[in-house]
Structure 1
Amino acid sequence: MYENFSSLNPIFQALLAGLFTWFVTAVGAASVFLSRRVSRRLLDGMLGFSGGVMLAASYWSLLGPAIEISSHGALPAWFPPAVGFLAGGAVLWLLDKSLPHLHLGFPVEEAEGPKTTWRRSILLVSAITLHNIPEGLAVGVAFGGVIEGVPSASTAAAIALAIGIGIQNFPEGIAVAMPLRAEGMGQLKSFWFGQLSALVEPIAAMAGAALVVVAAPLLPYALSFAAGAMIYVVVEELIPEAERAGNVDLATVTLMIGFTTMMILDVALG
C-alpha cells in the first residue's frame, strides 16, 4: 500500500492527506452526537496537545528539511529558512488583523479583526480556519518537497506530518463543535460548523504541493513559511486560549506530550 501511495502524483498525495486531516476533524466534531458539553480542563488539555504537535512539526517536518535543502544552494544556508519563516508569521498576522474571528472560550465582545455583525458560530469557524490554513499548507509542501529527493523530505516524513496534524485535528473538531452545542445549537449544526473549518486543509495542501512542484527552488521558502505560520498560531492563539481559564500546568504538560508525540512520529516514520 505504501509503494502504491508513493507512486502517486505529489499533488494528489497532498489532496489525500488533506482529506485525511479534514476527516479526523469531522470525527472530533461528531462528538456532539454523544455529549452536550466538554469540561474546560479537557478542552485546555487538548489545546495544549495541539500546540505541542504543531511546534514539533514546525521543526522536524518543515524547518529541518528547509535548512538541509538550503545548505546545498548558492545562498547562505540560513537565508531561505529565515525569510520564509518570518514571511509565514507576517502573513498570518495580516490575516489575523483583516479577518473577523473569535478565539475559543472568549466572549463575542472580544472578537478580533474588523468589526462585524457575524454570529458567534461564524467567528469561531473563522478563527479555526485561520489556524488550519498553515496546517494544510504544511502538509502540501511536505509532499511536494519529495521531488527534491533529500532524506528529510521523504514521502514517509510527509505521511508522518499528515498523521501528526490529523491527531491534533481531532481535539480541534471537539473544541469548535462542543461549545456551540453547549450554547444550545442543534447537533447537526454544531457538527457542521465543527468540521467546516477544516475543509480549507485539502485546498491548502494541494496549493502548497502545486507551488513547490511547479517551482522547486521555492521549496525551502515554502517549508519554512508553513513553519512560521504554524508557530504564529501556537503562540498567538493556542497557548493563550489553553491558559485563559487558569489551567497553566495542564496545558504545559499536554503541550510537552504533544511535542513528544510528533517528534516520535517524525523520527520513527520519517
Structure 2
Amino acid sequence: MASQVLVALALSLVGGFSTSLGALFVVLSGAPNLKMLGLLQGFAAGLMLSISFLDLAHNAINSIGFLKGNLWFFAGVIFFAFIAHFIPEPSLGPVSDTKRRKDKDEGGKDIMKKHRRQVLYSGIITAIGISLHNFPEGMAVFLGSVKGLRVGLNLALAIALHNIPEGVAVALPVYFATQSKWQAFKLATLSGFAEPLGVVIVAYLFPSSLSPEILEGLLGSVGGVMAFLTLHEMLPLAFDYAGQKQAVKVVFLGMACMSASLYFLEISLPEDLSL
C-alpha cells in the first residue's frame, strides 16, 4: 500500500506541476492590457463553467440521481452566496475632497488600482476553484495507479495536459494585479498541489470514513461554488474589460476547450474508473 501511495504521489505531481507550466507561459510574456485581460478572463470563466456544469455537477447527478445531485449543487451555490455576502468587494476607500481635486492622471491611477484589486480577487477565486477541482483528479490518479502503473501514468499525462490552461487561468489575473511574476507562479503552483493532496486523502481517508455518495455530493457542491464564483466575479470583469459580445465568444471558446480536454481525459480512463 505504501509503495502504491508513493507511486501515485509521484504521478500526481506530474499533473500538479503542469499548472506551473501554464503559469510559466504567462510570466514569460508581458502583462496584458485591460482588453486582453478581459478576453482571457472570459476564457478562464468558460473553463470554470465547463468544469462546474459539465464535469462536477454532471457526475454528481449521474451518480446519486437528479434530485440529490441538484440539491447538493444548489447547496454549494447558496453556501457561497452567503459567504460572498460577507466578503468585502475589492474597491477603493472613500475619496476625500482633496483627492477629488487632483489631476486626471491621479484619477487614472486610482482607477487602475481598483482594476488591479478586482482582478487579484478574481485570480484568488480562480485558484480556489481550480484547487477544489484538482482533488478528484488526484483521487483518480491514485485509483488508476492501484489498477496498474500503465493506467496511472497514462492518466497522469492526460491530467497534465488538461491542467496547463488552468495554470494560465490562475496566473494571468494575479500577474496583472500584482506585477509580480513570482506571486503569479507561486499561486498557480499551489493550486496544483491540490492534486497530490487528493492522493493522500483518498489513500488514508477514503473509503473508510467517507461514503461514495457523500463524496459525489460534495463534489457537486464544489461545482455550485465554482459556478457562483464565475458568474458573480469573473464574467462581470470580462464584460467590463473586453465588452459583452467579445467576452461571450471567448467564454464559449473556453468551455469548448475544457470540454475537449475532459473528453480526452475521460477516454484515457479504464471503463470502471471515472473522475
- RMSD in angstroms over aligned alpha carbons? 3.6
Shift of 1:223: 2.2
Q: 5 Å matches for 1:6-21?
A: 8-9=7-8, 13-21=11-19
1:12-52 CA deviation, whole Å, 9 max, x = no partner? Answer: 65554333224422431343xxx3x4222211111111111
Aligned pairs (5 A) from 1:197-216? 197-208=187-198, 210=201, 213-214=206-207, 215-216=210-211
How far apart, CA to CA, are the structure 2 residues paired with 1:254 and 1:180? 24
1:89 and 2:77 matched: yes
The one of 232, 244, 266 equivalent to 2:228 is: 232
In structure 2, relative to structure 1, the CA distance for the partners of 1:123 and 1:237 (3 Å cut) is closer
Identity %: 19
Give the alignment of 1:1-270 within 5 angstroms: 8-9=7-8, 13-31=11-29, 35=30, 37-70=31-64, 77-99=65-87, 102=90, 108-109=92-93, 125=120, 127-144=122-139, 163-181=161-179, 190-208=180-198, 210=201, 213-214=206-207, 215-217=210-212, 218-245=214-241, 247-270=243-266
The one-letter code of the counterpart of 1:245 is: Y
Distance in 2 between residues matched to 1:207 and 1:88, nearest whole Å? 22
- Cα distance 1:15–1:246, how it changes in 2: closer, same or farther (>3 A)? closer
Please tell me whether the aligned partners of residues 41 and 235 of structure 2 are also in contact (alpha carbons under 8 angstroms).
Answer: yes
What TM-score, normalized by structure 1, do the two folds share? 0.68
- Count of equivalent residues: 231
Unaligned stretches of 5+ residues in structure 2: 95-112, 145-150, 267-275
Closer, same or farther: CA 222–235 of 1 in aligned 2, 3 Å: same
Distance 1:201 1:248 in 2: 29
Cα offset, 1:200, TM superposition: 4.0
Question: Aligned equivalents of 1:62 and 1:159: distance in 2?
Answer: 21
Give me the whole-angstrom Cα distance separating, in 1, the residues matched to 2:190 and 2:254.
23
Q: Which structure has the larger Rg? A: 2
Once the two structures are superposed, residues 205-253 of structure 1 have per-residue CA deviations (whole angstroms, 9 ceiling, x without a partner) of 4455516734242221132122112211210111100011361111111
Deviations 1:126-170 (A, max 9, x none): 542232122111121244257889xxxx97788756644431431
* Structure 1 gap segments, 5+ residues each: 71-76, 111-118, 182-189
- In structure 1, distance between residues paired with 2:195 and 2:86: 22
Q: 2-side partners of 1:54 and 1:45: how far apart?
A: 14
Deviation at 1:86, TM superposition (A): 2.2
Deviations along 1:45-95, one digit per CA (max 9) or x if unpaired, are 11111111221222332222222222xxxxxx1243223312332443355
